[in-house]
Structure 1
Amino acid sequence: MATTPMPPNVVAGNPGFEGNALVAPPPPPLTDMTGICFRDQLWLNTYPLDRNLVFDYFALSPFYDLTCNNEQLRMRSIHPLDLSHLSKMTGTEYMLSEVMEPHLFVLRKQKRDSPEKVMPMLTYYVLDGSVYQAPQLCNVFAARVGRALYHISKAFTTAASKLEKIGYVDTENENATLESKAAKETIDFKEVKRVDHILASLQRKVTQMCQVNYPCPSISRGIYYIALKVIRDIV
């Protein structure tokens, strides 16, 4: 008599496993999943979110690594955050580092090499029922530096445009001043020729007067220079 085939056994405490087959592979270590969050309102309406059940809630999220040591403890019906058992194991594990019930729970993913040696990998937090991955410090620093460089570049661009406008106005003012000064200093060559003609005519007349009225050469020369100086001062 044929027997009715039974459905594949589901490993207790791990909905991600069917027999030995892995339905949804866990995200690899150091995967950046900061752009998503997880929330199961049905679970929150059914169970209280406290330090005893928060890990079971976190295990439902896509952030949970099914290969962690905590999952092995769950399969053995041991509390997944039992440090007395986790400290004796090596590999990836989750630790509850900060608790502010019922609003905030911080879980740290780390790699354990020995009971005393652990290396932090990633941090997750449950805030009012929503699960998030905390950004890494290097990513936060890079984002802050990028934002600062953007604002500095924008400030330099604005300053350069304003200085360019100021320089253009100053150049226009300087050109206008130079043109005005050049217009004032423009020499009328006809006027210069007329003055030179008057000076030459007066010089001849003074010379003739000195020769007629003062026969002595030294006196005539002295009177000549005095008269010439007076004429130039007047002009």
Structure 2
Amino acid sequence: MATPPVAPPAGAGGPNFDAAAPQPQPMQQPGTDMTGICFRDQLWLNTYPLDRNFVFDYFALSPFYDWQCNNEDLRRRSIHPLDSSHLSKMTGMEYMLTEVIEPNLFVIKKQWRDGPERVNPILTYYVLDGSIYQAPHLCSVFAARVGRALYYISKAFTTAASKLEKIGYVDSENESEPLESKATKETIDLKEVKRVDLILASLQRKLPPAPPHPPFPEGFVPPSTSEAEKDSENQQPGETQPSHVDPIIDQGPAKRMKI
């Protein structure tokens, strides 16, 4: 595991060495919203394997890493920075490896520890195929999805409105036709109706009169209208009036019983 260089103590190597030694610069803490950047070091990936033992050293090279965390303190003491037995005894900012799918995916969670069992998650980072990203907040994901849905809905309404405007324009053109043409069409229809009536009347005059009704057979007495009305009044609603027609003849030869 690679460890950061440590500045030599004061007075070591004489005054010339102290004057020539570079002064360590204070590390700047990373910002909160860094979802728009991606870190990848192809030279490091070609040199070291990307597994659970070396992934934190690779993550420490990225701008997402906070040098004031407890993991960096363990690295200075030559202890593995992800050793949970030591991190649980400390308080402050720390990084924890939560999910591992070697060698493609590593999820690192940034959290604040108040005690052995009290931690507050802050941010989440993931290493996907050697590229390090910051995971967005859940509210940002919902806002992006809702904004995209609203964009497509407004686009659909705009398209529908444009098509309805075209349909309304065509209807207005049809309504703006002169009323004279409609009046002429109505007069033409009336003339045709009169012409058909004249033709039917002339044909009726030319045709012979209708033949008289054939005489009733002998012995047939037609019922009087008064008796038929009385029978219909005396008949109850549920009763059916018997038919005077022969049922076998009325049903026809296809409905007779076969023996």
Task: Give the TM-score normalised by structure 2.
Answer: 0.61
Letter in 1 for 2:128: L
Structure 2 gap segments, 5+ residues each: 1-13, 188-259
CA distance in 2, matches of 1:42, 1:61: 14
Change (3 A) 1:182 1:68: farther
Over residues 58-91 of structure 1, what are the superposed CA-to-partner deviations in whole Å (9 max), with x where a residue is unaligned? Answer: 0010010111111111112111111111112222
Change (3 A) 1:181 1:87: same
Identify the residue that residue 149 of structure 2 maps to in structure 1: 148
Identify the residue that residue 5 of structure 1 maps to in structure 2: 17
Q: Deviation of residue 106 (structure 1)? A: 0.8
SS state at 2:52 partner: coil
Letter in 1 for 2:113: R
Letter in 1 for 2:62: S
Identify the residue that residue 61 of structure 1 maps to in structure 2: 62
Letter in 1 for 2:143: A
Alignment of 1:26-45 (within 5 A): 26-28=29-31, 31-45=32-46
State the identity as a percent.
76
Identify the residue that residue 25 of structure 1 maps to in structure 2: 28
Identify the residue that residue 138 of structure 2 maps to in structure 1: 137
Change (3 A) 1:183 1:137: same
Q: Deviation of residue 174 (structure 1)? A: 2.6
Q: Does 1:117 align with 2:118?
A: yes
Letter in 2 for 1:110: Q
Q: Deviation of residue 93 (structure 1)? A: 1.0
Letter in 1 for 2:105: L
Change (3 A) 1:167 1:178: farther
Letter in 2 for 1:137: L
Identify the residue that residue 165 of structure 1 maps to in structure 2: 166
SS state at 1:80 partner: coil
Identify the residue that residue 96 of structure 1 maps to in structure 2: 97
Aligned length: 173
Change (3 A) 1:126 1:175: same
Identify the residue that residue 251 of structure 2 maps to in structure 1: none
Letter in 2 for 1:4: N
CA distance in 2, matches of 1:54, 1:47: 10
Q: Deviation of residue 179 (structure 1)? A: 5.2
SS state at 1:89 partner: coil
Q: Deviation of residue 182 (structure 1)? A: 4.4
Q: Deviation of residue 5 (structure 1)? A: 2.4
Over residues 90-130 of structure 1, what are the superposed CA-to-partner deviations in whole Å (9 max), with x where a residue is unaligned? Answer: 22111101101111111011112222222211111111211
Task: Give the TM-score normalised by structure 1.
Answer: 0.67
Identify the residue that residue 52 of structure 1 maps to in structure 2: 53
Change (3 A) 1:79 1:180: same
CA distance in 2, matches of 1:81, 1:3: 39
CA distance in 1, matches of 2:81, 2:176: 83
CA distance in 2, matches of 1:69, 1:3: 34
CA distance in 2, matches of 1:88, 1:130: 31
CA distance in 1, matches of 2:94, 2:128: 21
SS state at 2:151 partner: helix
Letter in 1 for 2:30: P
